[in-house]
Amino acid sequence: MNHPSLRELHDFADRTLDAASAARVGAHLASCPRCAAEHRLILMTGEALRRLPPESPSPGFTARLHHALGLRQHVSLWWLVLRNLAPLVAAVAVAAVILTLGAPGGGLPGGDGVPGGGSGAGSVTPAPRAPLVDPGAAAGAIRSVAGRAAEWTGAVTARLVESTIGGNSLSQLALAGLVLGMLALLDRFLLGPIFRRRS
């Protein structure tokens, strides 16, 4: 029996043989178990090579490359906002939950006579109805909303301070969380960039 060479078997597996040679080798493989086994091994080796996963450089390679090129890595704006505000949001959420569940009298401002809280009734006079195009009325509405926000914030702070002085440990924890969140924000946006730039 005239066996094809090993090189021919490889070329047959790679489909780089001309049509006549491919037909001859194909016919031989159908009748020769030894060459068929060899051909199968060639195919298996190719498949094994294709299955090998690509390897990765060490972590931080891309960042180092960007640094070497003097490029800044593009980061999504939303991710930046989320990352920077996360400590504050988390602190406020914790504070709100603790105040709601743990503070004496329960609930946030307005529940026990704090002005301007809760239902929003309070002492603030609602802005008069006016067309949107009227600048005077719009300014009044903005002032009204700002006034309510200031009252609400003041009420929360007052409640926290009151609870803290009164020795409510949960409120003290909430206040500490809020302060830490503010400090984290201050560091990220104001102090950090200044000192990093200087160093």
User: Which residue ranges make up the site for other proteins (CB under 8 A)?
Assistant: 5-7, 10-11, 14, 16, 34, 37-38, 40-42, 44-52, 54-58, 61-62, 64-66, 68-69, 71, 73-74
In sequence order, which residues have a C-beta less than 8 Å from that of residue 90 and are 6 or more positions away?
177, 181
CB 96 within 8 A of CB 87: no
Q: How far is the CB of 33 from other proteins (least distance, A)?
A: 9
C-beta closer to other proteins: residue 71 or 133: 71
Provide the token pair at 41. Answer: 């091994």
Q: How far is the CB of 63 from other proteins (least distance, A)?
A: 10
C-beta closer to other proteins: residue 14 or 187: 14
Distance, CA of 149 to CA of 145 (rounded, Å): 6
Greatest pairwise CA separation for the chain in angstroms: 107
C-beta closer to other proteins: residue 7 or 129: 7
* Strand residues in 152-197 grouped as ranges (E): none
C-beta closer to other proteins: residue 13 or 160: 13
Q: How far is the CB of 27 from other proteins (least distance, A)?
A: 19
Provide the token pair at 57. Answer: 């450089």
Distance, CA of 76 to CA of 84 (rounded, Å): 12
Q: How far is the CB of 59 from other proteins (least distance, A)?
A: 11
C-beta closer to other proteins: residue 26 or 46: 46
Q: Name the residue type at position 133.
A: V
Distance, CA of 66 to CA of 88 (rounded, Å): 31
Q: How far is the CB of 68 from other proteins (least distance, A)?
A: 6
